[in-house]
Chains A and B, each alone.
Chain A
Amino acid sequence: MLESYETIFKKSKNNPWQTIDFETIIIDPTNKYSFELNELGSFIWGQLNGKNTLNQIIITILADYDCTPDQLTTDFNSFIEKLIENNLVEKVS
């Protein structure tokens, strides 16, 4: 469960990444593993810049993408939890 939507995350410097054609590849050099994000995942990844709160990111998505808050919140939470679980992001505040 996410602690708060006011939490700010940034990308971990341990994981090189690049976005090409709206898809993102994130490398886990330690485990020789790669993660692939789709267009929406890539958008969220881009917003995890150490400045935006999770709430601000949700508001931006709702403005830019065709989805309801209920639909988005479940997927968003699950996505952020996976990033945390795999140490791909670091909590800033």
Chain B
Amino acid sequence: MHSEIFKKIVAKSITKSIPLQASLELTYRCNERCSHCYVEKFWDDPSKILSKKDWIKILYELREAGTLYLILMGGEPTLSPYFFDIIKKGTELGFHVSIISNGLKINSYEYAKKMKNVGLKLVTFSLYSLDESIHDKITRVPGSHKKLLNSIDFCKSLNIDVSINSLLTEANAIGLFDLYNWASDNGFELKIDPNITPKLNGDMSPTLYRASKETLLWFFRERSRRWENSIPSPSLETTNDYICNAAKGKCAVNPYGDLLPCIEIRQSMGNLIQKHFHEIWNSKDAQKWRTPRISQLKENDMNLYQFCEHCPGMAKNEIDDPFKITPYTKLIAEVKKQVYEEFKSS
């Protein structure tokens, strides 16, 4: 029932370009220094950072535009002075409000209870390993693992929904199946992403942490061996389908009020302090990101593309061409195709 209604509303949001989901970067500040992070400076320009009044104006305009899901992120969203105010106002307006957090500030039962009381529905924590030394090495903050597990316990005890985001890197691959088992035992959804993007200024240093081809192969094979439903499979997309959902069913807002097509595409379509959401959303700049179809990609091998998770934003940032598939995205697709064929034949 839930999924049927949800699928229907998602389809409608894409067809009619209704931003069902909006990701709000409340701040670039962060109390961790993760080796893979795309943020270049963990600092907000005081002359541009949005005020509480600005954020509330944006919430009203998103609500009017049809947004249901608000995802508060950063940097680290709990470092925003308006963190609780935005959750509270968002909830009052009818949004489903969730956050993506490293958990460091959720350091007491009372703090977690305050989040719940203002209406927070879901916390997605960034956890890289069950091994404290691996997690802390990635975050570059000693003790961050222990604090994060405490935060998760506080939220769980208050029945706040918890999910986990993790990455597949050379540094943490070895423990990822322990993480899967732990998440399953606790009833948490776990997403593991092999994509690591350059920093917003083009600095490629985060990509040094990407998993090698051998590690990717090991991970996808092992996951397929353990869970049949995780065997990679070709998508059913055709060349006439849209490349992605950017500037259609989703959008993002950075800490300075720039409206982005999605969190990955860092090209401002306009500033929400200077213009109304509708004016920007219906502009030519928004149309530009909304209309591209798979047929426009500079990729001829559709058999490979069926396994590809091409992201125009990541490609623009990495190789300055949103229509070209990056070498690493292609590598992941090749690995998934190989694993699919191995399991299909066995």
Residues of A within 8 A of B (CB): 11, 13, 16-18, 20-21, 25, 27, 29-30, 32-36
Decide if the interface of chain B is mainly helix, strand, loop or mixed.
mixed
How far, in Å, is A44 (CB) from chain B's closest CB? 15
Contact across chains for B96 and A20 when beta carbons are under 8 A apart: no
Interface residues of B in 50-95 (CB under 8 A from A): 63, 66-69, 91-92, 94-95
Contact across chains for B5 and A36 when beta carbons are under 8 A apart: yes
Chain A contacts of B119 at CB under 8 A? Answer: 13
Contact across chains for B96 and A16 when beta carbons are under 8 A apart: yes
- Cβ-Cβ contact count across A and B, 8 Å cutoff: 49
- Which 7 interchain pairs have the tightest Cβ spacing? A16-B96, A18-B68, A34-B5, A34-B2, A17-B94, A29-B121, A36-B5
B258 within 8 A of A: no
Interface residues of B in 1-21 (CB under 8 A from A): 1-2, 5-6, 8-9, 12-13, 16, 18, 20
Residues of B within 8 A of A (CB): 1-2, 5-6, 8-9, 12-13, 16, 18, 20, 63, 66-69, 91-92, 94-97, 119, 121-122, 159, 161
With A18-B66, A33-B1 as contacts: A27 and B96 at CB distance below 8 Å: yes
Contact across chains for B5 and A21 when beta carbons are under 8 A apart: no
How far, in Å, is B85 (CB) from chain A's closest CB? 15
Contact across chains for B66 and A29 when beta carbons are under 8 A apart: no
Residue contacts A-B, CB under 8 angstroms, 12 given: A13-B92, A16-B96, A16-B97, A18-B68, A20-B16, A20-B66, A21-B12, A25-B6, A25-B9, A29-B96, A29-B161, A33-B2
Contact across chains for A13 and B91 when beta carbons are under 8 A apart: yes
Contact across chains for A25 and B121 when beta carbons are under 8 A apart: no
Chain A contacts of B13 at CB under 8 A? Answer: 20
Distance of A39 Cα from B97 Cα, bound (Å): 25
Contact across chains for A25 and B1 when beta carbons are under 8 A apart: no
Identify 19 new A-B residue pairs, CB closer than 8 A, beyond the known A16-B96, A20-B13.
Answer: A11-B94, A13-B91, A13-B119, A16-B68, A16-B97, A16-B121, A17-B68, A18-B63, A18-B66, A18-B68, A18-B94, A20-B12, A27-B96, A29-B161, A33-B1, A33-B2, A34-B1, A34-B5, A34-B6
Distance of A1 Cα from B12 Cα, bound (Å): 36
Chain A contacts of B5 at CB under 8 A? Answer: 25, 34-36
Chain B contacts of A36 at CB under 8 A? Answer: 5, 8
Task: With a 10 A CB-CB cut-off, give which of B5, B13, B18, B66 has the most chain A CB atoms.
Answer: B5
Task: With a 10 A CB-CB cut-off, give which of A18, A25, A36 has the most chain B CB atoms.
Answer: A18
- A28 (CB) vs chain B CBs: closest residue: B2
Task: With a 10 A CB-CB cut-off, give which of B67, B69, B121 has the most chain A CB atoms.
Answer: B121
How far, in Å, is A79 (CB) from chain B's closest CB? 17
How far, in Å, is B325 (CB) from chain A's closest CB? 33
How far, in Å, is B163 (CB) from chain A's closest CB? 12
Distance of A5 Cα from B94 Cα, bound (Å): 25
Distance of A15 Cα from B214 Cα, bound (Å): 46
How far, in Å, is A49 (CB) from chain B's closest CB? 11
